[in-house]
Amino acid sequence: MDLAPIKPVIPFEQFAALDVRVGTIERVEDVPDSRKLVRFVVDFGDHKRTVLAGMRQERDDLQALVGVQTLFVVNLEPRPMAGEVSEAMFFDLGYADGIRPALAIPERPVPNGVRAG
């Protein structure tokens, strides 16, 4: 497998601007007018957010993700998709390298909303 080359070096402050937090997936629903998008309701401890992702065809059983803790980038601008708005982005592994994405999950349960880094 050919991995993508490493991106150019950035200042630490640029990396530190990302807010990556743990959230637990509470609900998984298809987005009605999309063949790819799935709506996730995610608990971040002090609030919940809707996260849209093109995972419908990537997994056999999306309902198996209910209750899973994973990492999300939470300080991106809300993104309109298929008439809905996504309020965060999965911090997953593999998509950019053309392999079936894997969720970035904590090695043990931690409180929802905990920051990475």
CB count in 10 Å sphere of residue 23? 26
Average pLDDT over residues 48-69: 94
Q: Are 48 and 38 in contact (CB under 8 A)?
A: no
- pLDDT (0 to 100) of residue 99: 85
Sorted by sequence, the CB contacts under 8 Å of residue 82 that are 6+ apart come out as 31, 33, 34, 37, 52
pLDDT, average across residues 89-99: 87
When pLDDT is averaged across residues 7-26 and rounded to a whole number, the result is 96
Residue 110 lies in a domain: no
DSSP label at residue 33 = T
pTM of the entire predicted model: 0.92
Residue 65 placed within a domain: yes
- Contact by Cβ (8 Å): 56, 90: no
Whether 5 is covered by a domain: the verdict is no
Structural domain range at position 91: 22-100
Number of domains in the chain: 1
Asked if pLDDT for residue 3 goes beyond 90, the answer is no
Residue 106 is assigned to a structural domain of this protein: no
**First vs last C-alpha separation in the chain:** 29
pLDDT of residue 94: 86
Mean of pLDDT over the chain: 94
Model confidence at 113: pLDDT above 90: yes
Residue 81 placed within a domain:
yes
* Residue 79 counted as domain residue: yes
pLDDT of 100 higher than 90 = no
pLDDT attached to residue 58: 86
Residue 95 in contact with residue 53, Cβ under 8 Å?
no
Q: Is the pLDDT of residue 110 over 90?
A: yes
Q: Is residue 17 part of a domain?
A: no
Tell me if 11 is assigned to some domain: no
**Mind giving me the DSSP string for 60-100?**
S-GGGGTT-EEEEE--SPPEEETTEEE--EE-EESGGGTS-
Give the pLDDT score at 53. 96
CATH code of 40's domain = 2.40.50.140
Residues constituting the chain: 117
The mean per-residue pLDDT over the stretch 2-10 comes to 89
- Whether the pLDDT of residue 57 is over 90: the answer is no
